[in-house]
Structure 1
């Protein structure tokens, strides 16, 4: 099979690789489309030569492992998957075939195309983990009591799913974004939107929410955004979740701040950078639950995928990485692989 592979000089090129074999609890997918996330280029930059890049894929089930229940998975189904890319020479999302644990995948409903579905896996997983594992908010169909949450960078891929899931959980949502993105975010459920570049953004959001923000998710989590997001919280503080890990120099100890890492949901222990994370049964079970829920929630229109930009096939991954690094994109970068 063809796959996008890290080279000795750090670049990404297409190489031939053997088709991976699914383990007992895994399925083999013929990849149709793949979606790019910031973690793809960041982890590839530190990865050893020879590994396959990419985490998010949409594909057709072509083989079932020996322990995969035939009542749950059918050959020919199209499913979206989130796997850990840039770690293995025999498996990754940016390839013509990929394997993954069967219960950590979702059937793509008929109202969503494989291209659209490629925008979902990691951003959706991160939003699920932030809200329901870290913040312990009520899970569908239960609802909270209209408490306020701040979503910093609501127009980001993660931010769009945090907004939708927070509304589904019964919260009121305030968010930041460039003004041209406001209609999109309001359509997703945001109650209050302000421009993050506005010098009075904190004041405006505090006034609009009655200074009652008690939950938060910072979808950027670098270059001062964690400190900035803490400013939106009510005087007595609350709980803030970040998507990156540097929690030094935070000004408000009453805003309890912790990070989330979506890879923990994949059912294996792991080392990320230099930090070891043990296997978490709780996180894995949560992700499996929401993978199953996804088919219904997207199928019924309660959740919507992000806008996408298909820039080509596997040979365009290096270009996609450069585009994402530049920040000159506003849509989810997607690759067409087996369409």
Structure 2
């Protein structure tokens, strides 16, 4: 039943559909926690047939009652009482500037919050309509208290927690199995970020480093895997590509470079064994030291190569290294496997 269109709501009311009548416990809680101030104004959202709106008017409020169903509003007007103005308005889709007043002492949302799809956005717009000291009162079935087949009309504890977040005061009461939430003092929390738990491994990320000496020759290592490759490797957690490139360069060759001088030229994306692989093409021209084999289990030797010799090495290049070299010297290495290349402006 949740997220019905206005036409479906019209059909619901036209066929005799009704909601639970306003109970004595709800009336007592409203009187205790949201009494009408002098010249009090109330907005009843999703008023349906107008029972709550007429009750609030009887308690001293002047009430604007809104609903998206023309059929429900027509029946509500037939039972009209003093102090209530009815208006057709879709709280999710219509401009709230169409409300008769800019702010209210009390906003009520009874039995309909579960039917609102964009709850966070609507909640922010309703907060903006509260006068200082005003209250938003949401009355809702609770998921644990309704049959499984009716969970779509109720809120679970997580949704209630979301609704109550960002208020100076959030009080919860029970009204014969309904949760009555009285929310005061909008106090939205500053934006933050959070994870969703430990992710499953999805991709490889790392950097390939193009290092050239003063003669313009590029450094390659002859790998124990039978390929030529650039210095480089995977990022450590929290490490950016430039820092990873400089760290791997020193760990693999003993050459030292300043991370501030490592330029990320592009991000390359291909795949290996069905796994996405991201490689940063990093350029380093300023370094100290001489290349030394520090990890013989991985690389047998390091050599400086003329760039013009790269297409005729006689042995293959490691694919990510080839893509990085092709980023620095486009078109030098024909026939490479496909790769997605995303140039970095600063590079």
TM > 0.5 between the two?
Answer: no
Larger radius of gyration: 2
Normalised-by-shorter TM-score class: 0.3 to 0.5
Of structures 1 and 2, the one scoring higher in RCO (CA 8 A, sep 6+) is 1
Q: Could you tell me the TM-score, scaled by structure 2's length?
A: 0.32
Query: TM-score of the superposition, structure 1-length normalised?
Result: 0.33
Which has the larger strand fraction? 2
